[in-house]
A and B are shown apart, each in its own frame.
Chain A
Amino acid sequence: MGVTRREFLLISGAMGAGLALSTLGVDMLPVVAYAEGLGKIDKVKSAKETYSLCYHCAVTCGLVCSTDTKTGKVFNIEGDPDNPINEGSLCAKGAASFQMSARNEHRLTRVLYRKPGGDKWEVKTWDWALTRIARNIKAVRDKEFITRNAKGQVVNRVEALSHMGSSKLDNEECWMITTAMRALGLVYLDHQARVCHGPSVASLAESLGRGSMTNHPIDIGNSDCVIVMGGNAAEAHPITFKWAMRAKDKGAKIIHVDPRFTRTSAMADHHAFLRAGTDIAFVGGMIKYILDNNKYFEEYVRNYTNASCILDEKFSFKDGLFAGYDPVTRKYDKSTWVFKLDANGVPEKDPTFQNPRCVLQMMKAHYARYDLEKVSSITGTPVEDLKTIYEVYSSTGVKDKAGVILYALGWTQHTVGVQNIRSFTIVQLLLGNIGIAGGGVAALRGQPNVQGSTDQAILTHILPGYLKTPVASLSTLDEYLAKNTPKTKEPQSANWYQNTPKYMVSILKTWFGDKATKDNGFAYSYLPKIDDGQDTTLLDMVDKMYAGQIKGFTCVGQNPACSNPNAGKTRKALANLDWMVHINIFDNETASFWKGPGMDPKKVKTEVFLLPAAAQMEKAGSMSNTGRWLQWKYVAEKPPGDALAMGDILYRLVLKLKDLYKKEKGTFADPILDLQWNYADAKGMYDSTAVAKAMNGYFLEDVTVGDKSFKKGECVPGFSYLQADGKTSCGIWIHCGSFTQDGTNLIARRKKDDPTGLGLYPEWAWAWPMNRRILYNRASVDENGQPWDPKRAVLKWVDGKWVGDIPDGPWPPLADKEKGKLPFIMKPDGVASLFGPGLVDGPFPEHYEPLESPLSKSLISAQLSSPVVRIFTADTDKIAGADPNYPCVCTTYSCTEHWCTGADTRWQSWLTEAMPQAYVEISREFAELRGIKNGEKVKVESVRGKVECVAMVTSRLRPLKVGGEILHQVGITYNYGWLFPKDCGDSANLLTPTAGDPNTGTPEYRAFMVNVTKV
């Protein structure tokens, strides 16, 4: 019998490794003749099989699509059993992927247009719509272009155009967006990542050097202790929980700390309740526990972190404020947040940790206040639970134990989001859990390609590959590079970002080709510059739109009318636009805002274009999962009707713009005319491979680097070959190496060898950077390159070379004083930051209350909320803390069965059947207080808005004792909206506040105040 890949049923993991439960070998049976499915199984066997990827959370599970070879239509989609990440398994959303396909009658298939004041959609042609959109863009751009700012600095930007989205697109499409929008001069350019994991990037980059999840989903299975906090992995990232359960099968403990008892808690060995928005207090207590009880991994902490560095004498912390606070500007002067330097300019250190001004001692002093009783009074978590969890988790601070933290938006979406993540990163560093297998900080990202869309920088503050956005004071490339290329005197620091000039010049060569020359600073002047200190993030964009200062808005695969905080403000802001282009696979509350609740279509002047896009199985390209693995997917069928891939839509739109500017001239046309835009195949269709190669980069001339020679036109096989003199192009340096010199696409690999046995699968797909599967893996070994834990060796120095994962830099171990390098190669000092002075709200995490808090006075300092929190002052931006009208702490979240605002999943009948309508979870005690019965309709109201939904009365929430008082906490999903299904309820984000993390502007969706009453 022929055995194909699915014909052996292997049981992996705990149930007896590799135990084959026989081949089935059952013959076709007479009884089957009746079965309706019979036709299907035969169809599947003769179908074309295509690999694709799931379109929801960022685990990005593998799918197999079956396409009928006669009709060309997909008729079955299930998990790809060969994909090592999901091994064929899928959660509810993944299993429903078929309903994302063109078989779903709700898919958009025609170009739709609503004229200003119109009350219906009209069907249009692509040519009509794209011509009109290009004209609209050109009109606004030419009229509103800002050549110089108020200071007279050349800025070459346009503020009246804005763009949002999308983490739902492929890498190649994201990169095209970032490219085209920069050529147009946009600075109000942002997407889901801003409101989602923006703080992860800022926080992890400050602590460790890179802003991404350190390990990858499969690696969770290598852990001894999995703590989930600020997240709900079993529900929001179900396939990561596959690996948590795999770890549990091997004896690992699972801990969950959350305002609710969720599906994650149900699987956990230990669960503790806490008040939403008090995570730093909880984790600060753990830091204190680790330091007080000497639970930290001393050798690791001494050699690989800045624990021994001596702080400047003027640095201080007092009653909630760090040194340098200016209450007028509400900003810190950070000049004292620095280390003392020795005569060589290197930080002074005390490796014995005796000096009271060393980071370790200063940290100990900082967290001395976070004792169990204090933490309990802030968080509402019982002292016994604190003790248990601190003890269990800190047991991983030894060489042969690994602990991992899984978090998501429950940490990022706070006004202290960056510091929430920082706090546990400090724990991980103290315990030596960074760089090792089964360890790390697992920033579980929530959108299918949000890692990629962040890498490609559909974000106002960065360029692709985390290079900084140019600002007005840096008027030339030389000034930009001088400012943004870090320097170090630390002898053993690799300081990898010293290569910034190579990466920046190579991007400019990709964007502007021959027009980028050494003489014109590689066309640096073409890039838009924001003013120094100017805020242009998503919340600022909406604020400016609300004020009527933004005229045109393109929005792709994002639903801000439901997903933005204080969504009512966004809905009003959309009505202030002259025009909006929305591109998506289904209609949503943003595209149709003009007919939403409280809107009179006749009075809404916004001209709206709704363009039908291809879904994931209808286009080829790559997506980057939360663990930085880039996987390739293929076309299973054509998009329905007139729908096109986003890549095609943008490709055509930019050609239209180029044509218009060429024929009619216009303001600052050069970046548009000179933009390299050769990303189509012979038939004129978007070619994702061509884009992926441009992103990887080419040699533009024959180049010799060291002993290697390359020919013009070959792909650059790794970023160490990129040049700062214009001889290479590379659209995003961290993708460099995803193609081999001869142009082989490594992203498309499907080999399953696993030489380390740790699930690294080095020949499955490709991971940035340079196929490294575990970041900072040089910290998994001692100074001599020997693994802390030989049973889980990520790397090992053997006979003068590294064995295992791709090392985080090629140099020998640290003990080689000549050539050895420190492990945190992206940090100028080469070590990880326990003390993190790069953030605007403090070098050590400190507990501050949410901007809208139940308390009028902090329980730990004189500062109630973060002294530098980002606040907004439009008439709709109300805050009601410690207000008896809004007595309940409320937090928002998603359920497994829906994705984000439900913009895709609410159109899928299998998912709306499973989770049909909006609900608010309340405790039995609170329900009794309000006389609310389970299943009754209730009103949830904040000072900003109200929603009606169904009460779910449960023992999975409970009142907490906070500051000696009983406090009630409720939770509501943000998965719903008014458009469809009609009776499902409107968005919970009508309630949430416009308040931002001071580092990233990420909103505080997760802790605010409401009242809940019977309807």
Chain B
Amino acid sequence: MASGKSIMVDTSRCTACRGCQIACKQWNELPGTKTKQIGTYQNPPDVSAETWKIVRFSEGLKENGKPYWYFFSEQCRHCLEPPCVDAIKGYATDGAVKDEKTGAVLFKPSSKAAPLDEVRTACPYNIPRQDPKTKVFAKCTMCIDRISNNRLPSCVLSCPTNALMFGDRDLIVEMVKKRVEELKKTYPKAKALNPDEVRVIYIVTDDPKKYHEFAVA
């Protein structure tokens, strides 16, 4: 089992308060961008170089006719074998790294040499984005600066309901397993998404596609 750090995203606990989305902006000093109301609570519509964390909202009707509203607090999964790093390295050998101690996947300024399409499509979760001006790639850093200094990632600190949990990977993986078992009693479709491949492990209680197109690899 890989060591390092992990984050659990338990969507069954997420109230979509969006504390994480804003806390990410606050800590990382990212700007508020101009958006439009297009008929959804979800805004900005997607992750970008200026938005590394968004809560996705999706709604519909359950089989019993009652509504559902699923919330998916999205961020980089910090893959154990990150394809984005390989994709960037093809253009800039030091453009992206996986931090040895934590496992956090990080982009560096020299990543600007890589093309967006290639890096973006390399990622099964459609996360990497380029700064339109500098062309440097950007995404969640797992708050590498904070976690390297014994502080929780900003999003995890802000989460009111323990939907986001951070810690040593082996403990988080164990926690995810227990939680999924617990949830299965009520939600037979409950499962963890790609738990053996990613450090940011999502738990869902329904078909992952109902949460987000790229929820699962």
Q: Which A residues contact B (CB, under 8 angstroms)?
A: 6-7, 9, 11-16, 19, 21-29, 31-32, 34-38, 40-41, 45, 76-79, 81, 86, 88-92, 94-96, 98, 234-235, 238-239, 241-242, 245, 261, 263-267, 271, 895-897, 908-919, 934-936, 949-956
For A9, A264, A919, the residue with the greatest tally of chain B CB atoms inside 10 Å of its CB is A9
Partner of A897, one of B18, B23, B108, B143: B18
Asked if A29 and B144 make an inter-chain contact with CB atoms under 8 angstroms apart, the answer reads yes
| Assembly CA distance A16 to B179 (angstroms) | 11
Which segment, of B76-84, B95-103, B195-203, B208-216, faces chain A? B95-103
Asked if A31 and B15 make an inter-chain contact with CB atoms under 8 angstroms apart, the answer reads no
Partner of A24, one of B22, B71, B150, B175: B150
B contact residues, total (Cβ < 8 Å)? 73
Asked if B175 and A15 make an inter-chain contact with CB atoms under 8 angstroms apart, the answer reads yes
Question: Known contacts A21-B168, A21-B171, A41-B149; is A956 also within 8 Å of B59 by CB?
Answer: yes
Interface positions of B from 129 to 163, Cβ below 8 Å from A:
141, 143-152, 154, 157-162
Asked if B157 and A96 make an inter-chain contact with CB atoms under 8 angstroms apart, the answer reads no
Closest to A954 in B: B59
Interface check B68, CB cutoff 8 A: yes
Asked if A14 and B162 make an inter-chain contact with CB atoms under 8 angstroms apart, the answer reads yes
Chain A facing B: main interface SS: mixed
Question: Known contacts A6-B150, A914-B43; is A919 also within 8 Å of B17 by CB?
Answer: no
Q: List 24 A-B contacts (CB under 8 A).
A: A11-B162, A11-B165, A21-B168, A28-B148, A29-B148, A31-B144, A34-B108, A37-B141, A40-B27, A77-B26, A89-B159, A89-B160, A91-B17, A92-B19, A96-B26, A241-B15, A241-B161, A245-B13, A910-B26, A912-B32, A913-B32, A916-B35, A949-B37, A952-B40
Interface check B9, CB cutoff 8 A: no
Q: Which B residues contact A (CB, under 8 angstroms)?
A: 5, 13, 15-23, 25-29, 31-41, 43-44, 51, 59-61, 66-71, 97, 99-102, 106, 108-109, 141, 143-152, 154, 157-162, 165-168, 171-172, 175, 179
Asked if A37 and B59 make an inter-chain contact with CB atoms under 8 angstroms apart, the answer reads no
Partner of B22, one of A14, A92, A916: A92
Asked if A91 and B18 make an inter-chain contact with CB atoms under 8 angstroms apart, the answer reads yes
Which residues of chain B are within 8 angstroms of A912 by Cβ–Cβ distance? 32, 35
Question: Known contacts A7-B150, A76-B26, A90-B158; is A21 also within 8 Å of B32 by CB?
Answer: no
Partner of A914, one of B18, B36, B144, B154: B18
Partner of B17, one of A6, A896, A954, A956: A896
Which residues of chain A are within 8 angstroms of B66 by Cβ–Cβ distance? 271
8 nearest CB pairs, A to B: A909-B32, A21-B167, A935-B39, A934-B39, A242-B160, A917-B37, A95-B22, A913-B32
Partner of B150, one of A23, A76, A919, A934: A23
Which residues of chain B are within 8 angstroms of A239 by Cβ–Cβ distance? 160
> Closest approach, in angstroms, between the C-beta of B217 and any C-beta of chain A?
25
> Closest approach, in angstroms, between the C-beta of A705 and any C-beta of chain B?
45
Closest to A21 in B: B167
Asked if B37 and A94 make an inter-chain contact with CB atoms under 8 angstroms apart, the answer reads no
Asked if B17 and A238 make an inter-chain contact with CB atoms under 8 angstroms apart, the answer reads yes
> Closest approach, in angstroms, between the C-beta of B55 and any C-beta of chain A?
9
Which residues of chain A are within 8 angstroms of B40 by Cβ–Cβ distance? 934-935, 952
Partner of B28, one of A37, A79, A935: A37
Asked if B22 and A910 make an inter-chain contact with CB atoms under 8 angstroms apart, the answer reads yes
> Closest approach, in angstroms, between the C-beta of B71 and any C-beta of chain A?
7
| Assembly CA distance A649 to B110 (angstroms) | 53
| Assembly CA distance A897 to B15 (angstroms) | 13
Asked if B18 and A89 make an inter-chain contact with CB atoms under 8 angstroms apart, the answer reads no
Asked if A78 and B161 make an inter-chain contact with CB atoms under 8 angstroms apart, the answer reads no
Which residues of chain A are within 8 angstroms of B168 by Cβ–Cβ distance? 21-22
| Assembly CA distance A86 to B19 (angstroms) | 12
| Assembly CA distance A385 to B45 (angstroms) | 35
Which residues of chain A are within 8 angstroms of B162 by Cβ–Cβ distance? 11-15, 245
Which residues of chain B are within 8 angstroms of A28 by Cβ–Cβ distance? 148-149
| Assembly CA distance A35 to B39 (angstroms) | 36
Asked if B69 and A31 make an inter-chain contact with CB atoms under 8 angstroms apart, the answer reads no
> Closest approach, in angstroms, between the C-beta of B155 and any C-beta of chain A?
9
Which residues of chain A are within 8 angstroms of B101 by Cβ–Cβ distance? 26-27, 29
Asked if B32 and A261 make an inter-chain contact with CB atoms under 8 angstroms apart, the answer reads no
Asked if B109 and A25 make an inter-chain contact with CB atoms under 8 angstroms apart, the answer reads no
| Assembly CA distance A626 to B21 (angstroms) | 26
Partner of B145, one of A40, A936, A955: A40
| Assembly CA distance A92 to B15 (angstroms) | 11
| Assembly CA distance A19 to B67 (angstroms) | 36
Closest to B57 in A: A263
Asked if A38 and B35 make an inter-chain contact with CB atoms under 8 angstroms apart, the answer reads no
> Closest approach, in angstroms, between the C-beta of B195 and any C-beta of chain A?
17
Which residues of chain B are within 8 angstroms of A14 by Cβ–Cβ distance? 162
Which residues of chain B are within 8 angstroms of A263 by Cβ–Cβ distance? 15-17, 69, 71
Which residues of chain A are within 8 angstroms of B145 by Cβ–Cβ distance? 32, 35, 37-38, 40-41
Which residues of chain A are within 8 angstroms of B146 by Cβ–Cβ distance? 37, 41
Asked if A261 and B69 make an inter-chain contact with CB atoms under 8 angstroms apart, the answer reads yes
Asked if B161 and A242 make an inter-chain contact with CB atoms under 8 angstroms apart, the answer reads yes
| Assembly CA distance A912 to B36 (angstroms) | 9
Closest to A897 in B: B18
Asked if A951 and B39 make an inter-chain contact with CB atoms under 8 angstroms apart, the answer reads yes
Closest to B71 in A: A266
Question: Known contacts A242-B160, A956-B67; is A911 also within 8 Å of B148 by CB?
Answer: no
Asked if B22 and A911 make an inter-chain contact with CB atoms under 8 angstroms apart, the answer reads yes
| Assembly CA distance A88 to B108 (angstroms) | 30
Asked if B160 and A918 make an inter-chain contact with CB atoms under 8 angstroms apart, the answer reads no
> Closest approach, in angstroms, between the C-beta of A442 and any C-beta of chain B?
16
Which residues of chain B are within 8 angstroms of A918 by Cβ–Cβ distance? 37
| Assembly CA distance A245 to B15 (angstroms) | 9
| Assembly CA distance A548 to B145 (angstroms) | 60
Closest to B70 in A: A266
Closest to B5 in A: A24
| Assembly CA distance A169 to B40 (angstroms) | 34
Closest to B10 in A: A15
> Closest approach, in angstroms, between the C-beta of A339 and any C-beta of chain B?
46
Which residues of chain A are within 8 angstroms of B175 by Cβ–Cβ distance? 11, 15-16
Question: Known contacts A238-B17, A896-B17, A956-B67; is A913 also within 8 Å of B35 by CB?
Answer: yes
| Assembly CA distance A934 to B57 (angstroms) | 15
For A81, A89, A261, the residue with the greatest tally of chain B CB atoms inside 10 Å of its CB is A89
Question: Known contacts A910-B26, A955-B60; is A238 also within 8 Å of B39 by CB?
Answer: no
> Closest approach, in angstroms, between the C-beta of A835 and any C-beta of chain B?
38
| Assembly CA distance A29 to B175 (angstroms) | 27
> Closest approach, in angstroms, between the C-beta of B81 and any C-beta of chain A?
17
Which residues of chain A are within 8 angstroms of B179 by Cβ–Cβ distance? 15
> Closest approach, in angstroms, between the C-beta of B203 and any C-beta of chain A?
12
Asked if B36 and A917 make an inter-chain contact with CB atoms under 8 angstroms apart, the answer reads yes
For B38, B100, B106, the residue with the greatest tally of chain A CB atoms inside 10 Å of its CB is B38
Asked if B27 and A234 make an inter-chain contact with CB atoms under 8 angstroms apart, the answer reads no
Which residues of chain B are within 8 angstroms of A76 by Cβ–Cβ distance? 26-27
Asked if B39 and A21 make an inter-chain contact with CB atoms under 8 angstroms apart, the answer reads no
Asked if B148 and A26 make an inter-chain contact with CB atoms under 8 angstroms apart, the answer reads yes
Asked if B39 and A95 make an inter-chain contact with CB atoms under 8 angstroms apart, the answer reads no
Which residues of chain A are within 8 angstroms of B38 by Cβ–Cβ distance? 934-935, 950
Question: Known contacts A92-B17, A956-B59; is A950 also within 8 Å of B39 by CB?
Answer: yes
Known pairs A92-B19, A96-B25, A98-B26. 12 more at Cβ < 8 A? A21-B168, A22-B168, A26-B147, A27-B101, A32-B144, A37-B141, A89-B158, A91-B19, A94-B19, A241-B161, A909-B31, A934-B38
| Assembly CA distance A919 to B40 (angstroms) | 9
Asked if A78 and B18 make an inter-chain contact with CB atoms under 8 angstroms apart, the answer reads no
| Assembly CA distance A951 to B38 (angstroms) | 8
Question: Known contacts A13-B162, A95-B23; is A913 also within 8 Å of B33 by CB?
Answer: yes
| Assembly CA distance A703 to B84 (angstroms) | 77
Which residues of chain A are within 8 angstroms of B68 by Cβ–Cβ distance? 266
Asked if A35 and B106 make an inter-chain contact with CB atoms under 8 angstroms apart, the answer reads yes
> Closest approach, in angstroms, between the C-beta of B58 and any C-beta of chain A?
11
Which residues of chain A are within 8 angstroms of B22 by Cβ–Cβ distance? 92, 95-96, 910-911, 914
Closest to A98 in B: B26
